[in-house]
Amino acid sequence: VFSLVSGAILGLGYFINSQALLIFGILVAPLMTSWIGMSLAVVAGSARFFAQTIAALFVSSLLVFLCGILAGFASRTFGPLTFNEAFTHSRLWWPDILIITIGAIILTISFVRSEERPYLPSALLTYGLFLPLCAAGFGLGSGVGEIWPQGLYVFFVHLAWATFSAIITLFFLRF
């Protein structure tokens, strides 16, 4: 439910080109426990747990992507619009990689060492994963060819880098 609401807000943020709505959509997103579970399953070697957590991450990501597609289709009915935010988040930027790295490391450490829910690191990771994914869906729905495949590529690069950072962090934590 939170992924659906987050995707709808992110899609609306791309539709009206509002950075404030994009930030709100990130904050509404669910905790990235499925991603941290996937990273733990890789380290632990549990195929069943990996399948469960990757399925949960896939469903959550699919909901965000579909909301982006719907917002993109809605943008076709209006005149020529500028999609600056969608273009920005469908590109690979070094500051985004840095934010994802910090978020993945802090989320992994706080998940392993603390009983509290790590909202801020989860929001940092959501920034790196859901924004380009929703931008890719928005580009596909709106028919803007420069957004659609690049946003999906950025999502996969961010996901792989965050997972690699988490596995390395778990290694140094001797987990």
Query: pLDDT of 148-159, one tens digit each?
Result: 899 999 999 999
* Lowest mean pLDDT segment, chosen from 72-81, 124-133, 137-146, 154-163: 72-81
Residues of 61-82 as b/e, b for ≥16 C-beta within 10 angstroms?
A: bebbbbbbbbbbbebeeeeeee
Q: What is the pLDDT at residue 143?
A: 87
With a cut of 70, say whether residue 10 has pLDDT above it: yes
Helix segments in the chain, DSSP class H: 2-15, 19-28, 33-44, 47-75, 84-89, 94-113, 119-142, 148-172
Q: Report the pLDDT averaged over residues 45-66.
A: 96
Q: Report the pLDDT averaged over residues 105-122.
A: 90
Q: 107 falls in which pLDDT band (50, 70, 90)? A: very high
CA separation for the pair 56, 37 (Å, rounded): 10
pTM of the model: 0.93
CA separation for the pair 112, 145 (Å, rounded): 41
Residue-wise pLDDT tens digits, 76-92: 888 677 889 999 999 99
Query: Six-digit token pair at 81?
Result: 């619009």
Q: What is the pLDDT at residue 161?
A: 97
CA separation for the pair 31, 54 (Å, rounded): 14
With a cut of 90, say whether residue 123 has pLDDT above it: yes
